[in-house]
Amino acid sequence: MTGWTAVVPVKPWTLSKTRLALPGDARERLARAFALDTLDTLVESRHVTSIVVVTAEPEMAAAAAGVPGTVVREDRPMLSRDHLNAAIRLGRSWAVGRRPGAPVVVVPSDLPAMRPEDLDEALVALGRHDRAHVVDADGHGTTLVAAARPALLRTAYGRGSGATHRRQGSTIELDVDPRVRRDVDLPEHLEQARHLGLRPHALAVVDALVARVGAA
């Protein structure tokens, strides 16, 4: 199945990856790198036709301005207690109005090892179902969530989201590359993603951090 719409919720850098204990502004630089790598992966994907970036981060909005799709700006992103799912609903609304018959996938901006070919293979697998999701590498959370059309898309990101999505009628899809399942919230996740192979922006930031630690 081709012609996918990808919805990408992106927090402002200063609000992202707060559980990564990194020196100085490294956390913000890493969040930025993750998001830019995600955008590059989507642009290079053979199956993604339209990209909907939902963000209040000006730099991300500027970076996404030239890609096929749109930028949906969040004015006050942290007013909602359920910010991530609220952002996704904004992207879903855009897709319902503009591409109602196209398959849609939510792509979090913290899959720094995922390559375009990994995403494309995952989309083929997810496209076999009306609604499906990919559980994260730890088996409890969720990375990708997909639906055959935007009206069917429903997300429940948060604690235990893998099981919640399943209870909501979404099919678990495990026939994906490990890079699609390795999101990054904790330092050990970053090390695992590094072992899988980071994409260029994230690799540059992590290499600089390693060099700084080695020189200390």
Q: Which residue matches tokens 């980071």?
A: 198
3-32 pLDDT, tens per residue? Answer: 999 999 999 998 888 888 887 789 999 999
Written as six digits, the tokens of 124 are 């083929």
If you ran DSSP here, which 8-state letter would residue 169 be given? T
The pLDDT > 90 percentage for the chain reads 83
Quote the pTM value: 0.94
Tell me: the pLDDT tens digits for 18-72?
Answer: 888 887 789 999 999 999 999 999 999 999 999 999 999 999 999 999 899 999 9
Measure the CA angle with vertex 46, ends 85 and 66; round to 5°.
65
Whole-angstrom distance, CA of residue 91 vs CA of residue 50: 11
Identify the structural domains of the chain with CATH numbers, from first to last. 4-215 (3.90.550.10)
